[in-house]
Amino acid sequence: MSNEKQKMTVFKNDRHEDVASIIFAGLVVLFVLGYMAFIVPTVKVKASQDGKLISVAVEKGAQVKKGDTIYTLEVVEKKWKDNVMEEKVVTRDVSIKANGKVLEVPGKPGSVVKKGKDTIIILDHEKGTLP
């Protein structure tokens, strides 16, 4: 009988175990990215900030490219200055981050939107790209 302590592992040493875990993590990342790029059919573009939707620059059926302005929000910026809260109303143009075709435009100009809650545009993104 051996005096060495028995380990409960299928690997020869810890280095092999570390390599196996890195390979597994890489495969999981590839699976998730592949799913997002090829299987996810549509992307719901939601409000990026709380505010008022001023305009929607795209229409149903329009093709959009990465960097195109898709809507404009009117937001209130709050900032502390000399122990006083200053509020300033600014407009922000929001651009798209993926190529695709606009399927629907549920956002209506003049409506109040909440960050991450209200869908402004539903987009069919270009297959093979990440939304």
Q: pTM, whole model, 2 decimals?
A: 0.66
**Rounded (5°) CA angle 72-76-80:** 145
Could you state, in order of their start, the residue ranges of all structural domains in the chain? Answer: 7-38, 40-123
Pairwise CA distance, residues 91 & 80, whole Å: 20
Q: What pLDDT, on the 0 to 100 scale, is given for residue 89?
A: 92
pLDDT in tens, 76-92: 998 888 889 899 999 99
pLDDT confidence of residue 56: 93
Mean pLDDT across the stretch 26-38?
Answer: 88
Domain spanning 40-123, CATH class: mainly beta
Q: What is the pLDDT of residues 68-124, one digit of tens each?
A: 999 999 999 988 888 898 999 999 999 998 899 999 999 999 999 999 899 999 998
Q: How far apart are CA 11 and CA 21, in angstroms?
A: 12
